[in-house]
Chains A and B, each alone.
Chain A
Amino acid sequence: MYAYDQYDQAMVDARVAEFRDQCERRLAGKLTEDQFKPLRLMNGLYLQLHAYMLRVAIPYGTLNGGQMRVLADIAEKYDRGYGHFTTRQNIQYNWIKLEDAGDILADLAKVEMHAIQTSGNCIRNISSDHFAGAAADEVADPRPYAELLRQWSSFHPEFSYLPRKFKICVIASENDRAAMRLHDIGIRIVERDGELGAQFYVGGGMGRTPMIAPLIRDFVPLDQLVTYSEACLRVYNRYGRRDNKYKARIKILVHELGAEEYTRQVEEEFAHLLDQGVEPPLAELERIKGFFPDPAFDAADAEPDRSDPDFAVWLDHNTHAHKMPGHVSAIVSLKPVGGIPGDATDAQMRVLADLAEKYSFDELRIMHTQNVVLPHVSKADLYALWQALNEAGMGTPNADLMGDIIACPGLDYCSLANARSIPIAQRISERFAAKGKEAALGELKLKISGCINACGHHHAGHIGILGVDRKGTENYQLLLGGSEAEDTSLAKITGPGFDEHGIVDAVETAADVYLRERTEGERFLDTYRRIGMAPFKEALYD
């Protein structure tokens, strides 16, 4: 894992001091709320319905046991004993007091963590593949590139007042586990003729106008990564729309100019910037790579004993192939039946910290699906790990199944919400668990947003649910056919919405259509793509 040197630490410490000063000036009335707002947002502090929410960055979703313990301590000391892991691989605390914010940031800084640029119209926390450095299908570990860009984008003087927020994702596999093409910039590290470089996809996003990012450059050499990113951002900063905040994301600029014209402008700016000396030397990338060595794996390759049937089910659903024989990545479900997706208590976080130290070379990952990964587990340890997870309520064997629901905070917390998301997720999870249909359905990605902003990725759900306001009551639209994976697609609305009970039935109806229509080996998404919307509509509305 990356470790701060004296420079990184000094920067984060300075940020804590700066934010303390800003909070004091706000409390002393020297800053208006309008002036304070963008400053607190650049430190991850949102004002929600009931309290302040603090979003803490987990760069590319990677953290160690000691860091997880501090996240647990913050949940215990400053919140109500839990935290919420988000689709952007961060953690949020929902019940924070402004007076405590400075102290929390200071606690985080002690373990090389921060909340810098986790909100605001700036370059946000960079996301990545949760199996980075562990998956068998990668050409490289994408995290050193993400770290290089993290440093470049931190306190960037030119790009801190962009038209809108800006999200970058870096992966290094043909298989996309990070919704790469739904980011403002999606970068895929690729190999061409034995040489590593980066594909740049620009202008993807969700929100009210979902778009899949087009490829604008197939190969950026590794010693031009920062310069190319800078060119992409400068064209956006200068020409992105500022007249309408709903049209301010880079996806709209790329769409309105056309990918070709946007690319032309980027290439022109890039050619100019190449002479400006903005690129760190390759030695810096090598230095960063040095922090991501392979752990000292044990060579033994014993298959785990599958005689406990419950364990076998968990093995089948919640482990992922590792590049090292004898190892897997284990998915820790934060989706117990009827639970709040992505929530973890302080006690659970401490268990995760212990288990990471004991079984996974002191590493944890946060997934965009709001679960946690122990990336490097020896097969010999899996049974003991599973037992410990079960004891802590984190052994639900439902990765990528119906119960593994992504849900945004919705009307329970969020001031922008039209409808609640969490209770809908809870009812659906309970319904399918009670009927025992989940396993038969297989891979099925259900994603719920409480409003059009799409924090719950509903556009990218095999089944998506969107909360809308219908004459003052909560109403839910059903969407089908989205995917955030390498076969990226956007889901389509089935028709009129449903009330909070009706939507649970509607999801079941759609699932039943799939069970009836599917052919051997087809996932829900495959069946939908083959048979189209009509049979689902018929079952839902006739």
Chain B
Amino acid sequence: MTEQAPLRLREDEACMEPAVTLEAFAGQTNAVAVRIEPGEDTRELLPHLDRLRRIDIAFPAFTDGRGYSAARILREAGFAGELRAVGDVLVDQIAYMRRCGFDAFDPDAPLDPKDVEAALNRFPQVYQSAADASTPIWSLRHQ
């Protein structure tokens, strides 16, 4: 694990509570941070979103893309707390993660902030709507 503090793209104060597993969360009522593994159903959290401050979504391997769906589902359900991508998180996936609703990153290997900056600003527009505020090209065309 890295010594680097998680990279956060939000202004509020970080929730430093340790994340509990989904299973532990189900049996415990006062946790404010939870960690979702790729095989787990994020939708189990939907009834409890208002008391969660942070959700960590694990990427044991960057090629496992289930976490992208998990993040978007949480944002679609209105989750406004911190969504943190944890694990094998590389600079080349960060822009897509951000579009799916992640706003914090805790990568195994430290990221070069310059590379992150470049990656997040690489594409001028987006082709589809997702969990971020970007206006899709189809909408720009018909304004």
Contact = CB atoms under 8 A, between A and B. Distances in A.
Interface of A: 5, 7-8, 10-11, 14-15, 17-18, 21-22, 25, 35, 38-39, 121, 151-152, 154-163, 226, 234, 237-238, 242, 272, 276-278, 280-281, 283-284, 287
A237 B130 CA distance: 15
Nearest to B70: A238
A7 B65 contact: no
A155 B126 CA distance: 8
A14 B65 contact: no
Nearest to A284: B138
A152 B122 contact: no
Contact of A5 (B127, B139, B141): B141
Nearest to A280: B138
Nearest to B126: A155
B122 A17 contact: yes
A22 B76 CA distance: 32
B124 A14 contact: yes
A238 B63 contact: no
A404 B52 CA distance: 62
B76 A158 contact: no
Interface stretch (B1-9, B16-24, B92-100): B92-100
Contacts of A242: 38, 64, 66
B41 to A, nearest CB: 8
Contact of A283 (B65, B97, B125, B142): B142
Contacts of B65: 121, 158-163, 237
B142 A158 contact: no
Nearest to A278: B129
Interface string B105-143: 000000000010010001111111110000011111110
Contacts of A11: 123-125, 127, 137
23 contacts: A10-B124, A11-B127, A11-B137, A14-B122, A14-B123, A22-B92, A121-B63, A151-B137, A155-B96, A155-B123, A155-B127, A156-B128, A157-B68, A157-B97, A157-B99, A157-B100, A157-B130, A158-B68, A159-B68, A237-B65, A238-B66, A280-B138, A281-B142
Interface of B: 38, 62-66, 68-70, 72, 76, 90, 92-93, 95-97, 99-100, 115, 118, 122-130, 136-142
A161 B129 contact: no
Given A8-B137, A157-B126, A283-B142, 13 more contacts: A11-B123, A18-B122, A35-B92, A121-B63, A151-B137, A154-B127, A157-B68, A158-B65, A160-B96, A163-B65, A242-B64, A242-B66, A280-B138
A158 B130 contact: yes
Given A11-B124, A157-B68, A158-B130, A276 B63 contact: no
B125 A7 contact: yes
A157 B128 CA distance: 9
Contacts of A154: 127
Given A159-B65, A161-B68, A237-B65, A277 B141 contact: no
B128 A152 contact: yes
Contacts of A14: 122-124
A238 B69 contact: yes
Contacts of A276: 76, 129
B105 to A, nearest CB: 15
B123 A280 contact: no
A35 B99 contact: no
Contacts of A39: 92
Nearest to A121: B63
Contacts of A38: 62-63
Nearest to B71: A158
Contact of B142 (A22, A159, A163, A284): A284
B142 A21 contact: no
B91 to A, nearest CB: 9
Residue among A21, A155, A234 with most chain B CB within 10 A: A155
A491 B64 CA distance: 34
A280 B123 CA distance: 20
A360 to B, nearest CB: 30
A303 to B, nearest CB: 45
A252 B121 CA distance: 37
A8 B137 CA distance: 9
Nearest to A42: B92
A237 B68 contact: yes
Contacts of A287: 141-142
A7 B64 contact: no
A128 B115 CA distance: 38
Nearest to B42: A238
A7 B137 CA distance: 7
Contact of A10 (B96, B125, B129, B136): B125
Nearest to B65: A161
A121 B93 CA distance: 14
Contacts of A18: 122-123
A159 B66 CA distance: 9
A238 B123 CA distance: 26
Contacts of B93: 161
A321 B139 CA distance: 39
